[in-house]
Structure 1
């Protein structure tokens, strides 16, 4: 069973929500964040990305700044506190409309594997979020989760938003429409909570480091003399899997293979059908098909049937196929997470970004067919992990709309 529960959210006043709501801290550089803030003192990036203000922090100075800033914003009533509620959060962009339930989920169930992951976490990034949660005494950005086979929850959400007024409705600077509906009726909350108890798993779509950090904070709280019950739960938004939109997550790299063009294409043709494409860009339209930009020309690479491994949920992923048959053996990139010769370009930047990068600082680009939610769930259910940079979800959830205080 999966446990969800209502919480007493701190959230921005209606007049300030458009100024407070911000993209997640980890989708931008510090310089990009400074530009986004643009003299906006209310932006949640002041809490989420304190390095904008402190260039050479000493000790935990960054995290203390974040906590102090959040407390000041609460004291100044930039944030108000609700009664115990759950929320419906809707996001609409050019590709999809998705509605999810904002609530708290169990850190213990994360440790038990009921909340399933598909990526490993890095210790340094996990520690960063542990300190941020600890100094803020709060979960400040919802973990992006998905559910399956709960059609009654989806139907209830859609009927609810059709007849109720949102507490927030605004369009952010990137053209995404945001809607938030508050649900405080205890009987309705009890029914939704009971329905989630019927499912055996929730799936992390995005936010692995924040989820791992929240679980670590919960474990630390259990060992203290005065543990806080709220610390045993963390903030999440749970969407039906069929609402979610995954974009392509493409690759660009430096060519230090030592292979000339003839040698490279001879090696590729052993595994792929290779076809020259007379176009400015090439975007794959089916699984196991890739685009490659090499020497300012695009090629279509189609995996030969004998190399397909559909029985293995990880090996059949296109990101795994590219790594196994191209990046590792031909370009000697064995550790894509840490190798400086490779970079990853999210589909939101546009396929033309691959042309730009290979004209400027990289040599070869690969365009990918997006990983699907079913593939993600198959990997998670098998207890396996995806290769790094396998999924790029859009639209991004905004931080700062909901705050879950631990105490």
Structure 2
């Protein structure tokens, strides 16, 4: 847990100070985990998840719950030692990637250091040297990443037509007739080209696609891998938001000029109402892209992934046992 560079745990997302402070206060007060760290592993043969499936086949779930979004959660408890051993043998030594829960993971590391600094001793297995996680195989068909769209606001002197003209130097800019055509255009380009859709006032939509992939290292500056630079969101942030609109990483992290939502209609409504000067609709980041970036030990741009469905907080809890002397 202490060193993400050397650990089999790979992170991909940048974290923010505020959420980590809130989670640390909760951890100090409760000495328990209520929410999961959502982690991915690669097992195309489904050996680990297959062992779990076989163990619960034909059994009614031990618990069910419906969340506020209408998602039905089913929970089976597995106690059979053979099934647990079969899954463990597959998972041992495999790298795992944090899909969602970076703040929770880093907070767990901070809390662990605090406990050791106070002279507290862990009492395994459920203690401060462990973190409750959920492991999901990337081969599972139910694993979904939703796109996270951008709403640009509060830019002094923003001129949308000037932006379109400046974009034409490195991007193909196509006028679209409607939100439906915008979605169709995005879907057609997914995995084939770097494309996103600009939403402008007066109901205007423009597909923006990169002219020459060979220019990615030039357009996306910085000492990063080509996997990182080739992400649609990296190209948007570096080649458009930073280079043309002067919104750098610091302003992105502070939320000075950009807000985020997984809902396309919210982007369109915000621009229509004048709450946003520019909307950007993106394709979802693919799982293989997340794994490639994490494999390089890099963090993706903020708000790059929205894994769905979310794991329900409180469905399972881990109360820590600590010897405090």
TM-score normalised by the chain length of structure 1:
0.68
Listed as ranges, the matches of 1:3-402 within 5 Å are: 107-108=1-2, 112-149=6-43, 151-199=46-94, 201-229=95-123, 230-243=127-140, 244-254=143-153, 256=155, 258=157, 260-281=159-180, 282-283=182-183, 284-285=186-187, 286-287=190-191, 288-295=194-201, 296-305=203-212, 306-308=214-216, 312-334=226-248, 335-346=251-262, 349=263, 351-360=264-273, 361-402=275-316
Partners of 2:271 and 2:161 in 1: CA distance: 20
Bigger shift: 121-130 or 171-180? Answer: 121-130
The root-mean-square deviation of aligned C-alpha atoms, in Å, is 2.1
- Deviations along 1:146-191, one digit per CA (max 9) or x if unpaired, are 1112621122233334322210124333221211110112232223
Question: Which consecutive residues of structure 1, in runs of 5 or more, have no partner in the other structure?
Answer: 1-106
For 1:116 and 1:401, the matched residues in 2 are separated by: 25
> Displacement, 1:196?
1.2
Q: Structure 2 CA distance, aligned partners of 1:216 and 1:131?
A: 11
Deviates more, 1:113-122 or 1:319-328: 113-122
The CA distance in 1 between the partners of 2:158 and 2:64, in whole Å, is 55
Distance verdict in 2 for CA 1:343–1:290, change over 3 Å: same
Partner of 1:155, secondary structure, is: helix
2-structure distance, mates of 1:330, 1:237: 40
Q: TM-score, normalised by structure 2?
A: 0.85
Q: How many residues align?
A: 297
- Once residues 52 and 270 of structure 2 are traced to their aligned partners in structure 1, the CA distance between those partners, rounded to angstroms, is 42
